[in-house]
Structure 1
Amino acid sequence: MTPPRRATLADVARLAGLSKTAVSLILNDRPGSRLSDEAAERARAAAAQLGYKPNPAAQSLRSGKTRTIGFISDQVTITRFASAMVRGTLRAAKEYDHTVLIAETGDDVSQLAAAFDEMIDRRVDGVIVGLMAARMVDVPSAPHGVPVVIVNGRTPDDLPSVLPDEYAAGRAMASVLMDAGHTRIGFIADIPQIAGDPRRSVTIARRLAGIREALAERGATSFEAVGENWTTALGFAETTRLLADHPEITAFIAGTDGVAFGVYQALSDLGLHVPRDISVVSFDDEELASLVRPGLTTARLPYEQMARHGVEMLLGDRELAHELLPMPVIARDSVRTLIAEPTGR
């Protein structure tokens, strides 16, 4: 079956009784025409009746804009945890009547450069580089007039970026425990080689600084664990070790939700309950944080909001700059308020 023919500008002009030039001026809202309101109404009514839609390619030739943006990610599109960044990009672009071209590169630097060049070859109106882990990456230079925003990352040449406010989140999560009366707190987080290497993280050092400063300001006693990788295994091993050495601990701050899941497992094996015996808070808000029991109180990485912010930098009125977005505290059931300071377990 032959699909119905798409209505053309000539069809609209014929139905409206106007010239193609007049109809084009009206439908594209081009200034300077002397057409009457009645003619404009006829043109728009004819276009609506025929279901006419302007040809994007023709519009692009006239305006020099393609109404597309590029989204290049390392692992965002294949990582359920960070896929909200894609959702935020698509939704925001739609509001600006733009289409999104998506490329996935993995950790291959050459693939990122190739994807970037392909986006530029397709004359996108701007490019977002979205990263799952907030780190520093090298991005090729874009032609003049093509803005680039790094979402959840930075570049050595200081391109505009959107990052989570990890320092404020660190302070907030420490305060959640201290506001609940906890003053002897285990802290499983410190990875010096990551915190000190921007190619691996540009935010972790800020997260740790926020935690440490908040605890110190209020005189809490913290017991830190140093590990090689932020994994469930690290959370399990260090919870077991810290409680053996410091049974007075009443709460844990886990560096990530993955570490927190290990804390939960260790506490269960020790016959302890969250939050009755030990409170736990964390960072990231992975899906499992809402599924474990009790639900994990955590600071959410705002992937969708960061992506939306990036699109607004490209297409809206937001300044091309460096922005920090808050990580909201997602309060669940893993924190117990202490009525009085315990003297031991």
Structure 2
Amino acid sequence: MPPPRPTLMQVAQRAGVSRSTASFVLSGRHKDMRISEDARQRVLRAAQELDYRPNLMARSLRTKVTKTVALVSDTIASEAYAGRVIQGSLAAAVAHGHLLFIGETEGDPVVEGRLIADFVDRQVDGFLYASMFTRHVQLPKLLRGHRVVLLNCLTRTTNPAVIPDELTAGLDAARTLLEAGHHSGIYLVGHVREEVFAGRERLAGIKDGLGDAGARLAGTIDCNWWPDSAYDAVHRALTDGLAPRALICLNDRVALGAYQALREAGLRIPGDVSVISFDDSELAAWLRPQLTSIALPHYQLGWQAVETLLGEPGYPEVQRLPMPVRRRASIGRPPAD
């Protein structure tokens, strides 16, 4: 068994001071209590020699501050593409001297209720309520009255939220193709459902960006956001005689399927067809040619959510974080007619 933990009283006895004096020194309140420098040094030396560490649970009962925050998510912790959300959250929590508890619900409301109740019992200083996919959520009743920042999700009520700027990402996708000389033959690949925030915002930005230059989408190749569905849809469209100049894929998985269909049709990327996508997952760098993709700012989302929770007040209610364009080799000038 490990040796017993040194107590504050043992530190006081070793330093030859009262328990109160030792407490004031170790909590940084020695100046207010007019404790001599000699006594302060004896306490600090005794604490070091005994390897004394304060009882944080006891301190939290006195101060009502536990220096802990909780991240409650649906599937973020187990989603490979979003692991950097956790890294950003952890880094920001450490920067503020806090520990981060992480709980994943897998979308089960019963599990969610138990997790939140447990974190409330632990008296965490605040919550991050997170979603793998940007969407509108209903804040659990157990979180009402607590400090909460929404991470990659929104509510219909007033709660501070940090989300990616999908609208500007759509604008940037259009502008990137326009800058390369594409003004026609541009097709969207992927199904846009009204309830899917990212798809809806990306499409709105694409239309605005093209419209500003007097251009427009030539059409949509409808498919689910997965490689096999995208491959089937693009393959079928090419077989039916479609001749795109550029494809805007709604995520990198869709782009993977599109790449396969274009290659089977004997079309070169970007010589015959340019391709741009969203998310900037590892797939984007693995594909050949490497895929131009607009990055989800996973790390920054986690960092900024914790910063909003623990930092100085004054942030806007909804913060939309930039999604940088990762320019690679999949975009070229349109082929000559």
* Greater CA drift, 264-273 or 222-231: 222-231
Q: Hey, what's the Cα distance between the residues in 2 that align with 1:184 and 1:291?
A: 28
Structure 1 residue 114, shift from structure 2 partner: 3.3
CA RMSD of aligned residues (A): 2.1
SS of 2:162's equivalent? Answer: strand
1:23 and 2:22 aligned: yes
Give the letter aligned to residue 310 of structure 1.
A
The answer to whether the 8 Å contact 1:184/1:220 transfers is yes
* Greater CA drift, 175-184 or 163-172: 175-184
Structure 1 residue 116, shift from structure 2 partner: 2.2
Structure 1 residue 110, shift from structure 2 partner: 3.6
The answer to whether the 8 Å contact 2:67/2:98 transfers is yes
Judged with a 3 Å threshold, the aligned counterparts in structure 2 of structure 1 residues 100 and 310 are, in CA distance, closer, same or farther, namely: same
Q: Hey, what's the Cα distance between the residues in 2 that align with 1:117 and 1:311?
A: 20
1:151 and 2:142 aligned: no
Question: 2:92 maps to which residue?
Answer: 92
SS of 2:133's equivalent? Answer: strand
Judged with a 3 Å threshold, the aligned counterparts in structure 2 of structure 1 residues 145 and 95 are, in CA distance, closer, same or farther, namely: farther
Structure 1 residue 224, shift from structure 2 partner: 2.2
The aligned runs of 1:62-101 (5 Å cut-off) are 62-101=62-101
Q: What percentage of residue pairs aligned between the two structures are identical?
A: 37
Q: Hey, what's the Cα distance between the residues in 2 that align with 1:143 and 1:262?
A: 41
CA offset digits 1:68-112 (Å, max 9, x no partner)? 111111111111011211222222112222222221111223433
Question: 2:289 maps to which residue?
Answer: 294
Give the length in aligned residue pairs.
334
SS of 2:219's equivalent? Answer: strand
The answer to whether the 8 Å contact 1:185/1:220 transfers is no
CA offset digits 1:15-38 (Å, max 9, x no partner)? 322222111111112362111233
Q: Hey, what's the Cα distance between the residues in 1 that align with 2:253 and 2:276?
A: 11
* Greater CA drift, 64-73 or 10-19: 10-19
In structure 2, the gaps of 5 or more residues are: none
Give the letter aligned to residue 105 of structure 1.
T
1:329 and 2:322 aligned: no
Q: Hey, what's the Cα distance between the residues in 2 that align with 1:121 and 1:13?
A: 32
Question: 1:262 maps to which residue?
Answer: 257
Q: Hey, what's the Cα distance between the residues in 2 that align with 1:211 and 1:176?
A: 10
Judged with a 3 Å threshold, the aligned counterparts in structure 2 of structure 1 residues 27 and 187 are, in CA distance, closer, same or farther, namely: farther
Q: Hey, what's the Cα distance between the residues in 2 that align with 1:42 and 1:299?
A: 58
Q: How does the TM-score come out when normalised to structure 2?
A: 0.91
Question: 2:33 maps to which residue?
Answer: 33
CA offset digits 1:223-244 (Å, max 9, x no partner)? 2215352222332233334445
Question: 1:216 maps to which residue?
Answer: 211
In structure 1, the gaps of 5 or more residues are: none
The answer to whether the 8 Å contact 1:22/1:35 transfers is yes
The answer to whether the 8 Å contact 1:190/1:208 transfers is no
Q: How does the TM-score come out when normalised to structure 1?
A: 0.89
Q: Hey, what's the Cα distance between the residues in 1 that align with 2:197 and 2:100?
A: 27
Q: Hey, what's the Cα distance between the residues in 1 that align with 2:294 and 2:223?
A: 22
Q: Hey, what's the Cα distance between the residues in 2 that align with 1:113 and 1:223?
A: 47
SS of 2:156's equivalent? Answer: coil
Judged with a 3 Å threshold, the aligned counterparts in structure 2 of structure 1 residues 187 and 38 are, in CA distance, closer, same or farther, namely: farther
SS of 1:173's equivalent? Answer: helix
Give the letter aligned to residue 98 of structure 1.
H
Question: 2:200 maps to which residue?
Answer: 205
Q: Hey, what's the Cα distance between the residues in 2 that align with 1:219 and 1:38?
A: 78
Q: Hey, what's the Cα distance between the residues in 1 that align with 2:276 and 2:134?
A: 21
Q: Hey, what's the Cα distance between the residues in 1 that align with 2:308 and 2:150?
A: 11
Structure 1 residue 318, shift from structure 2 partner: 4.2
Question: 1:342 maps to which residue?
Answer: 335
Structure 1 residue 40, shift from structure 2 partner: 2.2
Structure 1 residue 125, shift from structure 2 partner: 0.8
* Greater CA drift, 71-80 or 83-92: 83-92
The answer to whether the 8 Å contact 1:252/1:278 transfers is yes
Question: 1:227 maps to which residue?
Answer: 222
Give the letter aligned to residue 330 of structure 1.
R
Q: Hey, what's the Cα distance between the residues in 2 that align with 1:110 and 1:161?
A: 24
The answer to whether the 8 Å contact 2:272/2:335 transfers is no
Question: 1:6 maps to which residue?
Answer: 5
Q: Hey, what's the Cα distance between the residues in 2 that align with 1:82 and 1:266?
A: 28
Structure 1 residue 246, shift from structure 2 partner: 3.9
Question: 2:119 maps to which residue?
Answer: 119
The answer to whether the 8 Å contact 2:75/2:106 transfers is yes
* Greater CA drift, 14-23 or 51-60: 14-23
